[in-house]
Amino acid sequence: MTTPMLEIRDLHATAGETLILKGIDLVIQPGEVHAVMGPNGSGKSTLANVLAGKPGYEIVSGSVLFEGRDLSLLAPEQRAREGIFLAFQYPVEIPGVSNMYFLKQAVNAVRAHRGIEELDAMEFLQLAREKMKLVEMSDALMSRSVNEGFSGGEKKRNEILQMALLDPKLAVLDETDSGLDIDALRVIANGVNALRGPTRAMLVITHYQRLLDHIVPDFVHVLSGGRIVKSGAKELALELEEKGYGWIQAESAAG
Amino acid sequence: MPNESLEQLATRDYEFGFTTDIEMDIVEPGLSEDVIRFISAKKGEPAWMVEWRLEAFARWQKMVEPHHWAKLSYPPIDYQAIRYYAAPKKKIQLDSLDELDPELRRTYEKLGISLDEQKRLAGVAVDAVFDSVSVATTFKKELEKHGIIFCPFSEAVHKCPELVRQYLGSVVPVNDNFFAALNSAVFTDGSFVYIPPGVRCPMELSTYFRINASETGQFERTLIIADRGATVSYLEGCTAPQRDENQLHAAVVELIALDDATIKYSTVQNWYPGDAEGKGGIYNFVTKRGKCAGKRSKISWTQVETGSAITWKYPSCILLGDDSVGEFYSVALTSKRQQADTGTKMIHIGKRTRSTIVSKGISAAHGQNSYRGLVRIQKGADGARNYSQCDSLLIGSECGAHTFPYLEVANPTAKVEHEATTSKIGEDQLFYCRQRGLSEEDAVNMIVNGFCKRVLKQLPMEFAVEAQKLLGVSLEGAVG
Ligand SMILES: Nc1ncnc2c1ncn2[C@@H]1O[C@H](COP(=O)(O)OP(=O)(O)OP(=O)(O)O)[C@@H](O)[C@H]1O
Ligand SMILES: [Mg+2]
């Protein structure tokens, strides 16, 4: 048996002082795409933040193993360099720092960690150009400050571009589809699909079936009240679209 | 919690905190007419220079330290406890750099200034002021070919007394302020520059100041004159050893630009800032002022202030000539317990005079950072324009940033614009960077450099790199 990419066991975690995740179990193998759905406030972003190691989010019990290693021992930047990528629900603006420069620094930090030679400005530009095509990113956005004044859709594109450049093993996409128009949704989904592969796993957080029409998941999980209350194949998402979350919540309360 | 970092403030060792063991020629602490005569005699100064100093001293005695208006707090300074003269004993008059005291030379090497290196590679002419005297001026011959005078101030008094007499105190009068008066009385050395008409100085001119002896004040005097159509770029770097007591630095810099002349004056100030508890560090009380005396003349100040326990400094421009231009680009960083009250004055007198102020204040740890700037448009300054931008960046929650803009407009045709922002390096920004694989320290440096870009761009290339490094070093331990 191969080691799972990600193995979450009975995870309890707090955000601030509050217990939000109340016993999550989830195993993701390399090459798999898992969708996580669930009502607002159910803990989806909290799960993403716990995986990425955001300060203020603490594991109180249970375990999270990434390729068999205890994630809680790694600082956020170490997790990133090891191959965990989080596409943020709300990407942060960094005034004064050009997007191109930021991406180059990030790529080189990750490369240095992986023992690959760092890229100089020209080499990086070449790589960036290639990946920019993937998400139809314009040159203009590269010379502007990171996310500053970017439209919602541009920010999301930038997240996927970063994912493409950083070449992660596990990508967590937190509502990357929210706020996208139909064309942008297709562009981003195509970008994500291009990055699917046997060695990469993805955890796709979304509210909408329309994203899953493009990025077809292997598994769908429903998070509610800090627990995975139902898991299934891709058809589960369609059922949710149709019936909402009420029936599952009722079912799990009864069960 | 390993990540609750912005609040945690540590210290980092001051990289330049070594002292140099050299035989010194030192006066006992204290200030009197006798001490002034002693300094003057050491320099072999002419009678008029002694008179000038004594007059400044007489005025200084009647003045009070400006303790009330600047947003700085520090214990009273005992002016009788300071030594006003300290000089390396050996070989002050040098014919070549090879004669430089080897210890002294090592000091410069530790500072990253290898004079030889500079000479060979950078094409930068260097005057190094060590405590009270200039010890080496490189490239003298090369500059002489162009008729440029670049020498220690004490030499200029003999070499071109007319120029010194004409311009010394013409921009900063002896009684201008308490610290300027003190400097006028006791200044020990500094640099003098004269660029003849029409000459574009073929290299950067540079002075490195270092305070070494303990209980010693440093009072240097710099005078730069760009004659008609002349152009010069001048760089100033400063360091001091790490000591528990505070040391006073009270310099005066005067710049004069005649018709169509341009002076660019850049400073990277890295005096010892004191430790995390606020012990030690340099008190930096400096008067810098330029006079755009001629038409279409231009004076541009760029400063990167990372050191000193206290910084009190307002590089200013008097825009007298019609169509003259004044600029002030500043980065001031306060970390540990550092305090800075810095800014500029732009005095518009001539017609269509223009000024630009770009100030970037960074506060970390317990640092307190104030921008204080005056824009005065006088009655005759038709069509004068000013643009000011003052931005503050906060790192952590124990530090402070303050902005005190003063605006006096006496001419209705003037246009004045002022923009100010305050931002904070947020936990979210740092996490975002870390999630992309950057260390927290690299993330902070990247954000800080981005914040300062507009100012750093003004510095000559090698200096910009040095300044960036210094900002990084000064912030180390302020996060993480
Ligand atoms: N840092 C924090 N401090 C306190 N409470 C928090 C913190 N972060 C999240 N929470 C709370 O945890 C709960 C789950 O939030 P989370 O952002 O994980 O929900 P979500 O499932 O992503 O919702 P949405 O679909 O609206 O994005 C919410 O009640 C939220 O207010
Ligand atoms: Mg969310």
Could you give the CA distance from residue A5 to residue A16 in angstroms, rounded to a whole number?
28
The mean pLDDT value for B180-186 works out to 93
Which are the contacts of B430, defined by CB distance < 8 A and separation ≥ 6? B5, B6, B440, B443, B444, B479
Helices (H), B306-439: 427-435
Of the listed ranges A7-21, A100-114, B78-92, B452-466, the least confidently predicted one is: B78-92
Residue of B208, B195, B352 lying closest to B262 (CA atoms): B195
Across A34-38, A189-193, B72-76, B343-347, least confident range: B72-76
- Check residue B122 and give its pLDDT: 41
- Whether the pLDDT of residue B240 is over 60: the answer is no
Contacts of A54 in chain B (CB under 8 A): 431
Tell me, what's the ipTM? Answer: 0.96
User: What is the whole-number distance in angstroms between the Cα of residue A92 and the centre of ligand 2?
Assistant: 15
Higher pLDDT, B140 or A15: A15
Cross-chain residue pair B439–A109, CB shorter than 8 Å: yes
> Is the pLDDT score of B355 beyond 70?
yes
Q: What is the pLDDT of residue B18?
A: 47
- As a whole number, mean pLDDT of residues B309-337 equals 94
Q: What is the mean pLDDT of residues B316-327?
A: 97
- For residues B19 and A149, the model is more confident at A149
Least CB–CB distance from A105: residue in B4, B440, B446: B446
Token pair recorded at residue A72: 């809680």
Look at residue B284 and tell me whether its pLDDT is greater than 90.
no
| Separation between Cα atoms, residue B99 and residue B91, nearest integer Å | 7
Nearest to B222 by CA among B281, B295, B296, B301: B301
Most confident region among A174-183, B79-88, B286-295, B450-459 by mean pLDDT:
B286-295
What's chain A's length in residues?
A: 255
Instruction: Tell me if A50 CB under 6 Å of ligand 1.
Output: no
Q: What is the pLDDT of residues B146-160, one digit of tens each?
A: 999 988 888 899 999
Please identify, by atom number, the ligand 1 atom nearest to the C-alpha of residue A38: 21
Q: How far is CA B273 from CA B78, B113, B193, B305, B341, in A?
A: 20, 20, 29, 10, 14
What pLDDT is attached to residue A73? 93
Interface of B with A (CB under 8 A): 1-5, 423, 426-429, 431-440, 442, 446-447, 449-451, 453
Chain A closest CA to B9's CA: distance in Å? Answer: 17
Q: How confident is the model at residue B39 (pLDDT cuts 50, 70, 90)?
A: confident
- The pLDDT of residue B223 is 96
A99 to chain B: closest CA residue: B450
> Is residue B270 scored above 90 in pLDDT?
no
Residues of chain A positioned with their CB less than 8 A from the CB of B427: 55-56
Confidence of residue B72 (pLDDT cuts 50, 70, 90): confident
Instruction: Select from A11, A22, A46, A49 the residue to mutate for testing ligand 1; criterion: most ligand atoms less than 8 Å from CB.
Output: A46
The predicted structure's pLDDT at residue B360: 94
Give the ligand with the smallest distance to the CA of A15.
1
Residues of chain A with pLDDT under 50: none
Q: Please name the residue whose Cα sits nearest to atom 27 of ligand 1.
A: A40
Residue B70 has pLDDT above 50, yes or no: yes
Is there a contact between A80 and B423 if contact means CB atoms under 8 Å apart?
A: no
Report the nearest atom of ligand 1 relative to the CA of A207.
25
Residue B9 has pLDDT above 60, yes or no: no
Is residue B340 scored above 80 in pLDDT? yes
Tell me, what's the pLDDT at B27?
73
B242 band by pLDDT with thresholds 50, 70 and 90: low
Evaluate: CB of A20 within 6 angstroms of ligand 1: yes
Number of other residues whose CB lies within 10 A of the CB of residue B465: 12
- Minimal Cα–Cα distance from B448 to chain A, Å? 8
Q: Three-class SS of residue B114?
A: coil
Establish whether residue A42 lines the binding site of ligand 1, counting it when its CB lies within 6 angstroms of any ligand atom: yes
Identify the residue whose tokens are 């994630």.
A71
A50 CA → ligand 2 middle, Å: 12
Average pLDDT (B420-448) is: 91
Closest CA to A222 of A230, A210, A211: A230
Which tokens is B366 given?
A: 């317990």
Q: Which range (A129-143, B124-138, B309-323) has the least confidence?
A: B124-138
Q: Comparing B240 with B161, which gets the higher pLDDT?
A: B161
Smallest Cα–Cα separation from A42: which of A219, A154, A207? A207
CA distances from B434 to A172, B347, B374, B444 (A): 15, 46, 40, 10
For residue B463, give Cα distances in angstroms to A111, B293, B362, B451, B460: 29, 28, 19, 17, 5
Q: How many Å lie between the centroid of ligand 1 and the Cα of residue B425?
A: 23
pLDDT for residue B157:
92
Name which of B292-301, B366-375, B458-467 the model is least confident about: B458-467
pLDDT of residue B429: 93
How many residues are there in chain B?
480
Q: Answer with the residue of higher pLDDT: B290 or B270.
A: B290
Predicted pLDDT of residue B6: 32
Residue B346 near residue B375, CB atoms below 8 Å: yes
Does residue B8 surpass a pLDDT of 50? no
What is d(CA B452, CA B471) in angstroms, rounded to the nearest whole number?
10
| Mean pLDDT confidence for B95-109 | 53
Cα(A40) to ligand 2 centroid in Å equals 7
Confidence of residue B210 (pLDDT cuts 50, 70, 90): low
pLDDT bin (cut points 50, 70, 90) of residue B101 is: low
CB A168 within 8 A of CB A202: no
State the smallest CA–CA distance between residue B439 and chain A in angstroms. 6
B6 versus B139: the higher-pLDDT residue is B139
Pairing of strands B125-130, B133-137: antiparallel
Closest CA of chain A from B393, distance in Å: 11
pLDDT tops 90 at residue B114: no
Beta bridge partners of B344: B373
Report helix, strand or coil for B371. Answer: strand
Q: What is the mean pLDDT of residues B183-194?
A: 90
Provide, rounded to the nearest whole percent, the portion of chain B with pLDDT above 90: 44
Reading the block at residue B130, the tokens are: 């060590």
Distance CA A130, CA A137 (A): 10
Phi and psi at B296, nearest 5°, equal 55, 20
Q: Would you list the DSSP string of B22-75?
A: --EEEPPS---HHHHHHHHHHTT--HHHHHHHHHHHHHHHT-----SSSS---P
* Structure letter (DSSP) for residue B128: E
pLDDT of residue B91 exceeding 50, the answer is no
Residues of A in contact with B1 (CB under 8 A): 55, 58
The answer, yes or no, to whether residue B12 has pLDDT greater than 80, is no
pLDDT above 50 for B1: no
